[in-house]
A and B are shown apart, each in its own frame.
Chain A
Amino acid sequence: MRSDNQAPRAFGLSLAAFAVLVFLHFPIWLIALYAFTTEEASFTFPPPGLTLEWFGVLFQRSDFWNALGLSLVVALLSTAIAVILGTSTALAIYRSRFFGRDAIALMIILPIALPGIVTGIALRSALNLSGLNFSFWTIVIGHATFCVVTVYNNVVARLRRTNYSQIEASMDLGASITQTFRHVILPNIATALLAGAMLSFALSFDEVIVTTFTAGQQQTLPIWVYSQLQRPRDRPVTNVAALFVIATTFIPILLAYRFTRARTE
């Protein structure tokens, strides 16, 4: 009786669910298609012909590769800072109850909870006031600030599921605090830490709003894409670059997904 009622309902529902899923994915498929189009001046669909020519052209474009290099270095450095700050904060917060604990948790979430433009303009005007020049380092400062939360969230969730008695046992058996960290805490949080770091990397690698405010003349990859978006001169090159960016961001996402799943299963 009940299953009779549910079968058509579930069919309609699964149709709706997959329609939404297709809506989420078909723009990405189109990016893949347009990377091969022979059309240079417009976004004609269907593409009049397919070619591999633009991959070679992108390969020659030093501005693209410089932007990519800058983005990679910024993301690595911001993630390193986020790992240190996020892990230490998670270790401090997960078991203790102290005055201002919630305030600190809120403070860490704030940089991504507030609209990016607020963070961006706040940092920019503070940098202006302090007389610092906009440079590679000002980009890193901005990125690390909003990356801390991804590491913190992952690590604190894992620590809550870790048995504290392990740590106590290690200390009671004579291990020093560094040994306990290396042999007990770190193996426990390793995959969560790695997942948090991957997400932090992806977040930094893709960030544009805060970056437009904290970068001087430097072009990170998103700023490069944004400039192409505003005045589409090299459409075919941008098409290929877009596919390249999508493909590279897949990797950390899939890895992070594996790391978090492997542990929960």
Chain B
Amino acid sequence: MSAVGTLTPETARPSDGLLRRIGTVFYRRPVLALIALLLPTLLWIGVIYLGSLSALLVQSFFYLDGFSGRVIREFTLRTYGELLLQQNIDIFVRTIGMAAAVTFVSGLLAFPLAYYMARFASERMRALLYLGVMVPLWSSYLVRIYAWKLILAQEGIVVWLANLLGLQGALDWLLALPGIGGPSLSFSYIGVFVVFVYIWMPYMILPIHAALERVPRSVIEASADLGGRPGYTFRRVILPLAFPGVVAGSIFTFSLTLGDYIIPGVFGNSSYFIGQAVFVQQGTAGNIPLAAALTVVPVVVMGVYLLFARRLGAFDAI
């Protein structure tokens, strides 16, 4: 009643005439309204963003003339041919391997927390835990990386703790491992790996939690009533039903690791990841075609990944 009361005086306003007529046209012809509502976004994202992406793709078919250092604007596949050089293949293998390892371990660590949140925590505790996941997720990415610089430093807390527990030997052994070791934790692939897991894990927790919450209690009870022990119920009922959530989370951890150049830049050594290679090619090297072709790699990898993820039902779990 009161809503009508507040509306009546305004409807009487003569200045409403034109707006009202326009409004009525839109209400009667939803297609016009649709176009009016979508036009700004279509212009912004459709033209600016997709336009930029297409321009980038086009440039990947140009090539950099090695002698003059200038980009030659004619169609060629030779820049894509350069991707097959051993040094570039190494970069892809290194990056994809890291993304896979980060995804696997994130899933392993995220699952218990998500499972506890969904099945055991009280209502109040659940809200607190949810906030406990959201706060690291949304707090500053760079500051959290900076925090790991403090943690992994030679004089930092990890080495201090290792000394305290008499584990220097183990730490030195770890750092001496070929391939993943380095002069200190803050300059090694171990460091890169730990920081990646830390930074992206919240993206894994949330979809797993959402999927676990949607497992109907009745299904679990049915399994128990039919004689399934808790472990059996977990393996045969809960895990398969929650798996799409794991896949959904893995999309984030995998994709985010694939494109990041800051973490390997801060903690890694001189062997590049894809993001760093792109950064160097477009910057100091001035080789935009190669940089563009390099960005196509993670996009294609993610495209394939998403196709598989969709088969596993990940999109219903987000």
Binding site for B on A (CB under 8 A): 2, 5-6, 9-10, 13-14, 16-17, 20-21, 23-25, 27-28, 30-31, 34, 42-46, 81, 84-85, 88-89, 91-92, 96, 98, 104, 107-108, 110-111, 113-119, 121-126, 129, 141, 144-145, 148, 171, 173-180, 183, 199, 202, 206, 208-209, 222, 225-226, 228-230, 232, 238, 242, 245-246, 249-250, 252-254, 257, 261
Q: Is there a chain A Cβ closer than 8 Å to B93's Cβ?
A: no
**Could you list 12 A-B pairs, sorted by A, with CB under 8 Å?**
A5-B230, A20-B201, A25-B135, A31-B143, A43-B150, A44-B156, A111-B49, A118-B298, A148-B41, A179-B10, A208-B262, A225-B146
**B23-62, CB < 8 A from A:** 23-24, 26-27, 30, 33-34, 37-38, 40-42, 44-46, 48-53, 55-56, 59
Residue contact B261 to A117, C-beta cutoff 8 Å? yes
Complex Cα gap A249–B135 (Å): 9
Contact B55 A104 (CB under 8 A): no
Which segment of B84-92, B166-174, B274-282 sits at the interface? Answer: B274-282
When the two chains form the complex, which single residue of A92, A115, A177, A230 contacts B24, counting CB atoms closer than 8 Å? A177
B64 sits at the interface (CB 8 A): no
Contact of B44 among A125, A145, A232 (CB under 8 A): A145
Q: Which residue of B lies closest to A203 (CB)?
A: B138
Contacting residues, chain A, for B104 (C-beta < 8 A): none
Contact A85 B40 (CB under 8 A): yes
On whether the beta carbons of A129 and B116 are closer than 8 Å, the reply is no
* A91 vs B191: C-alpha distance when bound (angstroms): 45
- Known contacts being A88-B40, A89-B37, A117-B279, is A14 close to B110, with CB within 8 Å? no
| Interface status of B288 (Cβ within 8 A of chain A) | yes
For A121, give its contact among B30, B34, B45, B282 (CB under 8 Å).
B282
Residues in A whose Cβ lies below 8 Å from that of B30: 96
Chain B residues with CB under 8 Å of A111's CB are 45, 49
State the CA gap A20–B269 with chains docked (Å). 28
Chain B residue with Cβ nearest A149:
B45
Is B248 close to A, CB under 8 A? Answer: no
* A245 contacts across to B, CB distance below 8 A: 140, 142-143
Secondary structure of the A contact surface, majority rule: helix
Please judge, given known A-B contacts A2-B230, A88-B40, whether A115 and B255 are in contact too, CB under 8 Å.
Answer: yes
**In the complex where A31-B147, A43-B150, A125-B292 touch, is A257 in contact with B56 (Cβ < 8 A)?**
no
A222 to B145, CA, bound (A): 12
Kindly list chain B residues whose C-beta atoms are within 8 Å of the C-beta of A208. 141-142, 262
In the complex, what's the smallest C-beta–C-beta distance from A193 to chain B, in angstroms? Answer: 15
Interfacial residues of chain B within 290-317, with CB under 8 A of chain A in the complex: 291-292, 295, 298-299, 302
Is the beta-carbon distance between A249 and B140 smaller than 8 angstroms? yes
Residues of chain B at interface, number, CB under 8 A: 95
Complex Cα distance, B230 from A253, in Å, reads: 37
Contact status A20-B113, CB under 8 Å: yes
- Most-contacted residue by chain A among B22, B50, B51, B259 (CB, 10 A): B259
Q: Which of B74-82, B124-132, B210-218, B238-246 contacts A (4 or more CB under 8 A)?
A: B124-132
Residues A125 and B56 in contact, CB atoms below 8 Å apart: yes
The answer to whether A17 touches B275 (Cβ under 8 A) is: no
- CB neighbours (8 Å) of A117 from chain B are 259-261, 275, 278-279, 295
Asked if B295 and A5 make an inter-chain contact with CB atoms under 8 angstroms apart, the answer reads no
In the complex, B271 has a CB within 8 A of chain A: no
Separation of A85 and B122 alpha carbons in the complex (Å): 39
Chain B residues proximal to chain A, CB less than 8 Å = 3-4, 6-7, 10-11, 16, 19-20, 22-24, 26-27, 30, 33-34, 37-38, 40-42, 44-46, 48-53, 55-56, 59, 109-110, 112-113, 115-117, 120, 127, 129, 131-136, 138-151, 153, 155-157, 160, 198, 201-202, 224, 229-230, 255-256, 258-262, 265-266, 275, 278-279, 282, 288, 291-292, 295, 298-299, 302
Shortest distance in angstroms between B274's beta carbon and chain A's nearest beta carbon?
8
Q: Are A122 and B55 in contact (CB under 8 A)?
A: yes
Q: Which residues of B contact A126 (CB under 8 A)?
A: 48, 51-52, 55-56
Q: Give the complex CA separation of A169 and B205 in angstroms.
A: 42
- Contact between chains at B144 and A27 (CB < 8 Å): yes
Q: How far is the CA of A42 from the CA of B142 in the complex (A)?
A: 19
Q: A21-B132, A206-B138, A238-B146 are in contact. List 17 more A-B contacts (CB 8 A).
A: A5-B229, A16-B116, A24-B198, A27-B147, A28-B144, A88-B41, A96-B34, A104-B41, A113-B302, A115-B258, A117-B278, A123-B52, A125-B288, A145-B44, A177-B19, A208-B141, A232-B149
Q: In the bound complex, how far is the Cα of B20 from the Cα of A5, in angstroms?
A: 67
| Complex CA distance for A257 and B198, rounded to whole angstroms | 22
Specify which of A17, A122, A257 lies most central, judged by the most chain B CB atoms within 10 Å of its CB: A122
CB pair A17 B48 closer than 8 Å? no
Which residue from chain B places its CB closest to the CB of A111 in the assembled complex? Answer: B49
Are B147 and A122 in touch, CB under 8 angstroms? no
Q: Quick one: closest B residue to A93, CB to CB?
A: B38
Q: How many angstroms between the C-alpha atoms of A46 and B151 in the bound complex?
A: 11
Q: Does the CB pair A16–B112 fall under 8 Å?
A: yes
CA distance A228 to B146 in the complex (A): 9
A45 to chain B, nearest CB (A): 4
